[in-house]
Copies of this chain bind each other. A is one copy, B any other.
């Protein structure tokens, strides 16, 4: 088969465990070769029936970034209304927006449900596997960003129709993520939402069942 060295194996787990969703970036450009490494990593993701339903719109233009930030800000304000009566700390929501302006590169990742033709193997049974494939590509990109010493943030506060209009994306294409990429001097060791007491990490043991839903055996050896 194959065998990673101990250090290579550590690299995989370090990337998986330390990857964070970053919202503040330094005003330093990203070398193209590093950016392409991220996109290559994304493109090597699994896809149902090998349909490769992803496209990547690389946005460096400041005017377009401002337009995107504007519609994200609109959505953030609309969203905040639903949290008015809660005691959850909302300040950090602001961070979510600044990233798009600060980061030297924004990538709009899209999903094309028609990229594999009429009968994509496996997608006939579960149509949303196209979206799942693109999500795997985004995760690859995130881990590659970590490997390159870059920070990445995934913004999902927007109306797709607004993003389609700004980036001239056809109706049949789904803009599923706005990704900020850049360097940062603010790389937290835990998820932002955990630091801000928004949510806690679940105990893994409680998320695992044995043979049937709802059946928990006693388990040792798990970190949580």
Q: Look across to chain B and name the residue whose beta carbon is closest to the beta carbon of A64.
A: B211
Q: Tell me the minimal C-beta distance from A20 to chain B in angstroms.
A: 9
Q: Is A131 an interface residue (CB 8 A)?
A: yes
Whether the pair A212, B168 counts as a contact (CB closer than 8 A) is yes
- In the complex, chain A residues 184-224 whose Cβ is within 8 Å of any chain B Cβ: 184-185, 187, 191, 193-194, 198-199, 201-202, 204, 207-214, 219, 221-224
List of B residues within 8 angstroms of A184 by Cβ = 1
Query: How many residues in A have their beta carbons less than 8 Å from beta carbons of B?
Result: 115
Query: Which of A3, A39, A134, A213 has the most C-beta atoms of chain B within 10 angstroms of its own C-beta?
Result: A213
Cβ–Cβ < 8 Å partners of A146 in chain B: 2, 4, 12
Cβ contacts A33-47/B at 8 Å (1 or 0 each)? 100110111011110
With A2-B146, A39-B204, A58-B209 already in contact, 11 other A-B pairs whose C-beta atoms are closer than 8 Å: A7-B8, A7-B11, A11-B12, A13-B147, A40-B222, A40-B223, A43-B224, A60-B211, A128-B128, A132-B132, A135-B135
